Amino acid sequence: MDIVTFPVHVAANLGCKLYIATNAAGGLNPDFKVGDLMLITSHIGLFLPSPLTGPQHDFGTNDLFQPQSGEYDAALRKIFKRLDPTICEGVYVAVTGRAYETQAECLMLRKLGADAVGMSTVPEIIVATNRGMKTLGISMITNVIAKDGTNATNHEEVMKILNSRTLERKLTKIFRLFFSHLPSVIS
CATH number at residue 61: 3.40.50.1580
In the chain, what's the furthest Cα-to-Cα distance? 47
Task: Please state whether 148 falls in left (phi above 0), alpha (psi between -120 and 50) or beta.
Answer: alpha
On average, the pLDDT of the chain sits at 87
Q: How do strand 37-45 and strand 134-144 relate by DSSP bridges?
A: antiparallel
The pLDDT tens digits of the residues spanning 158-172 come to: 788 777 778 888 888
Q: What is the mean pLDDT of residues 141-153?
A: 87
State how many domains the chain has: 1
C-alpha triplet 102, 107, 111: angle, nearest 5°: 145
Q: What is the mean pLDDT of residues 25-51?
A: 91
The pLDDT tens digits of the residues spanning 45-103 come to: 987 778 877 665 555 555 567 777 779 999 999 999 999 999 999 999 999 888 888 99
Type and span of the H or E element at 124: helix 122-130
**Residue 73 is part of which domain span?**
2-186
